[in-house]
């Protein structure tokens, strides 16, 4: 009998999820109003040590609302990463703005050295306004890839110099924080002007869908919450003073989220423990290495990245993934670079070197919080066998 398939990453419901969802159903509050939404917002604010959080429909809507609040207008320029899920960049297009792709560093996050060089050498800065090819550069979208923290000290200094808004895409990094430096104790998503989170099914905690957003001013989050609920100014006569959006989280989702927030510290502990076990399994393996996380941070270890040695293994990532799938192990490639996707092929790219390098080499391996030690050992053993066969054939 074959062993069961080990998926890449699945949700884990072992707490009060059913209890809270049943309670929301019993109360009849299932849509975009209800006590669980307020409770989830408070629980997140307490965890992140911020004054205000607005729960919304998705991480994508959280990013879109942040761009709106940041004042990004049609034809403005927003600096974005090429290494991320496409949802991090699509909201720039929603605003009819122009993305410019800045290369990553070895953390997979935006390279602040190239970001600075772009601002200094490719742009003009006059009267406090940074422009590129005649268009205003308004914001930077920083994605904390796989739970790895970007170099926020350098990025915030650049943003301060050029008066740019910083939108942190922390959709993969809930619980990641600095342990050293200027931002010691600060969580991903709480350093820039805005922080966006996702509760998609594969994230460290989930509400099925759903997301959340915070900002550096309590009043800003209040306005984002207002926009997310159709910008309603008079509940009796349905008067609206601004264009709003149907971006509010539902109470059923929030009930699930409240239960998941209770488990978040334990999930982070397990993610870290499992990473350590993987690191032991791949130590001194000649055909791939487990990538580290940034020093001076405590990552949530959302996803684990194995870098394939391309000097020894030439087969495509698709072949590797397929061979592992046949052996009962779910894996995936890092992502197709966004600048290579059809809607973005005409956009500006800047000094892309490490992005394509890592895109050709990184394999994500199973990272669920309910993985057993035996499953981790089986995953590692199978990957070692498959890669060894490919290298030696």
Distances (CA, A) of 1 to 63, 142, 352: 46, 46, 47
Instruction: Supply the pLDDT for residue 32.
Output: 85
Average pLDDT, the chain: 97
Q: Is the pLDDT of residue 153 over 70?
A: yes
Q: Which tokens hold the place of 196?
A: 């966006």
Q: Averaged over 333-361, what is the pLDDT?
A: 97
Report the C-alpha gap between 63 and 202 in whole angstroms. Answer: 18
pLDDT digits (tens, 9 = 90+) for 242-300: 999 999 999 999 999 999 999 999 999 999 999 999 999 999 999 999 999 999 999 99
Instruction: Supply the pLDDT for residue 33.
Output: 87
Instruction: Supply the pLDDT for residue 142.
Output: 98
pLDDT digits (tens, 9 = 90+) for 198-227: 999 999 999 999 999 999 999 999 999 999
CB-based contacts of 316, cutoff 8 Å, min separation 6: none
Q: Is the pLDDT of residue 121 over 70?
A: yes
pLDDT digits (tens, 9 = 90+) for 38-89: 999 999 999 999 999 999 999 999 999 999 999 999 999 999 999 999 999 9
**CATH number corresponding to 17-260:** 3.40.640.10
End-to-end CA gap in the chain: 28
Q: Which tokens hold the place of 208?
A: 């099925």
What are the domain boundaries of the chain?
A: 17-260, 263-392
Q: Which tokens hold the place of 376?
A: 């981790």
**CATH number corresponding to 263-392:** 3.90.1150.10
β partners of residue 125: 130
Report the C-alpha gap between 388 and 383 in whole angstroms. Answer: 8
Report the C-alpha gap between 337 and 40 in whole angstroms. Answer: 34
44 alpha-carbon distance from chain centroid: 16
Under DSSP, is residue 187 helix (H, G, I), strand (E, B) or coil? strand
List, as one string, the DSSP characters of 240-292. Answer: ESS---B-BPPHHHHHHHHHHHHHHHHHHHHHHHHHHHHHHHHTT-TTEEEPP
Q: Is the pLDDT of residue 1 over 80?
A: no
């Amino acid at each position: 009998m074959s062993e069961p398939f080990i998926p890449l990453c699945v949700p884990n419901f072992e707490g009060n999820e059913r209890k809270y969802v049943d309670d929301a159903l019993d109360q009849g509050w299932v849509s975009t109003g209800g006590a669980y939404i307020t409770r989830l917002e408070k629980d997140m604010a307490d965890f992140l040590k911020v004054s205000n959080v607005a729960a919304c429909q998705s991480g994508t809507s959280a990013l879109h609302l942040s761009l709106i609040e940041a004042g990004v207008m049609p034809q403005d320029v927003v600096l974005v990463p090429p290494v991320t899920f496409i949802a991090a960049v699509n909201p720039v297009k929603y605003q009819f703005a122009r993305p410019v792709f800045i290369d990553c560093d070895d953390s997979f996050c935006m390279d602040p050295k190239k970001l600075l060089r772009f601002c200094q050498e490719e742009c003009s800065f006059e009267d406090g306004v940074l422009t590129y090819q005649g268009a205003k550069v308004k914001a930077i979208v920083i994605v904390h890839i796989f739970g790895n923290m970007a170099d926020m000290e350098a990025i915030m200094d650049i943003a301060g110099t050029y008066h740019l808004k910083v939108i942190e895409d922390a959709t993969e990094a809930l619980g990641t924080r600095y342990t050293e430096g200027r931002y010691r104790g600060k969580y991903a998503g709480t350093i820039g002007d805005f922080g966006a989170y996702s509760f998609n099914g594969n994230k460290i905690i989930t509400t099925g869908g759903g997301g959340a957003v915070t900002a550096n001013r309590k009043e800003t989050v209040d306005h984002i919450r207002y926009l997310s609920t159709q910008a309603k100014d008079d509940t009796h006569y349905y008067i609206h003073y601004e264009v709003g959006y149907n971006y509010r989280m539902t109470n059923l989702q929030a009930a699930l989220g409240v239960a998941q927030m209770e488990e978040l510290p334990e999930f982070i502990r397990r993610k870290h423990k499992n990473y350590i076990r993987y690191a032991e399994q791949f130590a001194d393996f000649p055909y791939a290495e487990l990538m580290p996380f940034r020093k001076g941070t405590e990552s949530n270890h959302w996803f684990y990245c194995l870098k394939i040695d391309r000097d020894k293994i030439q087969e495509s990532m698709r072949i590797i993934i397929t061979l592992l799938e046949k052996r009962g192990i779910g894996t995936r490639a890092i992502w197709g670079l966004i600048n290579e996707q059809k809607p973005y092929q005409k956009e500006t790219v800047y000094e892309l070197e490490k992005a394509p390098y890592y895109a050709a080499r990184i394999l994500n391996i199973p990272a669920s919080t309910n993985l057993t030690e035996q499953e981790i050992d089986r995953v590692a053993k199978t990957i070692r066998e498959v890669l060894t066969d490919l290298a030696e054939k």
